[in-house]
Chains A and B, each alone.
Chain A
């Protein structure tokens, strides 16, 4: 009787020690689920989801506080990916969401007064300029988040949709007319 108790207690102590040790030794920094979600998000840092950037939104989804259909730049495909990752049902965008074509910001350099407000707002440092100097968008770095548009006091920033060109053109899904079959 006593020996059995001792054996069980001993096992409990040893296993408890192992668990305690591995909890310290193999501790995972951060939230791996949030990292995985963050990898799917398009990183425009636009805040259209209601969170200040992609990372906070990813953390909110991981914590179960946010829905997966809040990210317009990610498109429906992004929602599908999130649904697959989290094992939940696909949800269409809510009523208020407007899907816009991919754009880059454009500064009308004749109007810019060099107030620096736009590049303070830019989440990816894609605006070059200095106080009382003309500012300009570094188009290759711009994610099209529109965060610079609102702060501009002279409304000199506009969003220009990226049109289809030779460099970004994609082959279309083959469509062949059924009329031929008749």
Chain B
């Protein structure tokens, strides 16, 4: 039995996972319209590769990764691109972003992998492949972290300066209501394990731990069976159910006892963590050349039929809500769980790679928070903070916009899990303050960088002007000097002319001597034979031409 460790705090909100696990994963029907955002991953948005009016096939690349941290975007089904333009997406700002609108033709016609225009290969024998090639395939397949951070998978798999001892597969799924990973593990455990083997090969990792919370006995059993069948030395570790035990840093702590230092990455302590759904999509991409076109999404909450659906990326939330048969008193939808989820501005918003759950909400299900009261420094937030922070102090500094102090109190180690807001007896929206402070600090850093960059360019420009001025002055001085030193022109102009002509003749002679044909030496016997043959042919043609001329004359 493996020794497990604990992290500070954590909470036990009602799980509400049963309703959506009563039936298996169903395939959502093809929607009448898909809206596919070009930014479905962390990093730079993909560059559109299609135009309005183009016909696309299922799996066709429509967004090229643009930049180091970026990923590909594909057409989720075959059809016609109706438009490329700004559409509302799931983002806290409610601002629109660049999307492709795809009208499906209902034929689900796949790309042909053999076609040279397709950059995806199928049937990788990953053990005999170059890891760089595998990473490229993942990048072009749009494989990103499906746990919610949507960080491009190929970058997490790049070799770092430290060896990876432990690969952790995250199947904890700690947030209430969400069951997409649970159902995926129950139904597709074999593929997940195969995907984990591929990830492990690329990382050259030692042990592989699959962490699953103990409230998912069926998923644990399925994964254990898949591991046994595969014969791979992976270990399924049952971890206690606690929120936010599925956050990467916290799961690493529970499984290995290691703590990711502030401002560092898990790879710095020799651990890398992937969501189970990411392992699954990596398997589909490498073994079948299948890009990420769909994902499992839970529809739950205030619905008649809570269930998990395999949904094509770009499907509007409305279609999924209809499948779940949302109850009439539903007045809003959340993307994600109740702790970290994002309220959606409309049901036109498309489902993307980051969407793991849609919760139909009503005031009955989630009563509005009572008005916030002043902080009484009861320290409950610090007791539950899984990142060992002091949220009451961070709140104080964020509220008063003392950002450097907030940063000194490790604001950026906050994972925004919402445990502090959950327990706050004054109902202060703590996480909102932290998000505000973080984005303010980031914006300032960006401004500072822009200012430094502008200073550098301005200083270089000044330097360039100075240099040009100096060069001009030097040239002028040199010319004056030359004019002074030059011998007085000869009295006889004819003499001077003659001298110039002689000099020119000498120069021409030198040049003629220098330019000898260079490709006639050191020839091989074959080349000589070829030359002789060509010469013979030429002579023959000459001969013919001559005789023809004579013939004409006659």
Contacts and interface: CB of A to CB of B under 8 A. Distances in A.
Partners in one complex: yes
Interface of A: 38, 41-45, 53-54, 123-126, 141, 143, 164-166, 168-174, 176, 178, 180-181
A125 B457 contact: yes
Contacts of B89: 166
Contacts of A123: 458, 461
B461 A165 contact: no
Given A124-B458, A172-B436, A180-B371, A164 B95 contact: yes
Contacts of B95: 164-166, 169
Interface stretch (B447-455, B476-484, B509-517): B447-455
A54 B455 CA distance: 9
B93 interface: yes
Interface string B441-483: 0010001001111110110110000000000000000000000
A53 B370 CA distance: 52
Given A123-B461, A124-B457, A168-B443, A43 B435 contact: no
Contacts of A172: 436
A176 B371 CA distance: 8
Contact of A44 (B91, B439, B443, B454): B454
B436 A173 contact: yes
A123 B323 CA distance: 58
B39 interface: yes
9 contacts: A43-B454, A125-B460, A143-B450, A143-B454, A164-B95, A166-B39, A166-B93, A166-B95, A169-B91
A54 B456 CA distance: 12
Contacts of A171: 92, 432, 435-436, 438-440
Contact of B452 (A43, A45, A166): A43
A56 to B, nearest CB: 11
Contacts of B439: 169-171
Nearest to A77: B444
A141 B443 contact: no
Given A42-B447, A164-B95, A165-B97, 14 more contacts: A42-B451, A43-B452, A53-B458, A124-B457, A124-B461, A141-B454, A143-B454, A166-B93, A170-B436, A171-B92, A171-B432, A171-B440, A176-B371, A180-B371
A166 B454 contact: no
A38 B97 contact: no
Chain B interface: which size bin? 20 to 34
A179 B218 CA distance: 48
A125 B432 CA distance: 40
Contacts of A170: 436, 439-440, 443
A123 to B, nearest CB: 5
B451 A43 contact: yes
B396 interface: no
A170 B446 CA distance: 12
A126 B39 CA distance: 28
A176 B421 CA distance: 14
A126 B436 CA distance: 32
A176 B443 contact: no
Nearest to B89: A166
Contacts of A164: 93, 95
Contacts of B460: 125
Contacts of B454: 42-45, 124, 141, 143
A141 B436 contact: no
A41 B451 contact: yes
A43 B455 contact: yes
B388 to A, nearest CB: 23
Contacts of B452: 43
Nearest to B44: A167
A102 B145 CA distance: 35
B372 interface: yes
A176 B429 contact: yes
Interface string B368-384: 10111000000000000
Nearest to A165: B95
Contacts of A174: 429, 432-433, 436
Contacts of A166: 39, 89, 91, 93, 95, 97
A174 B278 CA distance: 34
A178 B370 CA distance: 11
A53 B454 CA distance: 11
Interface in B75-109: 89, 91-93, 95, 97
Contacts of B435: 171
Contacts of A173: 436
A141 B368 CA distance: 46
A125 B453 CA distance: 12
B458 to A, nearest CB: 5
Nearest to B452: A43
Contacts of A38: 455
B457 A141 contact: yes
Counting chain B CB atoms within 10 Å of each CB, the highest count among A38, A171, A180 belongs to A171
B164 to A, nearest CB: 32
A118 B461 CA distance: 15
A-B CB proximity, top 4 nearest:
A43-B454, A174-B432, A43-B451, A169-B93
Nearest to B93: A169
A25 to B, nearest CB: 27
A178 B371 CA distance: 7
Contacts of A168: 443
Nearest to A73: B451
Contacts of B438: 171
Given A174-B433, A181-B371, A125 B455 contact: no
Contacts of B433: 174
A114 B119 CA distance: 42
Contact of B458 (A45, A169, A178, A181): A45
A41 B450 CA distance: 11
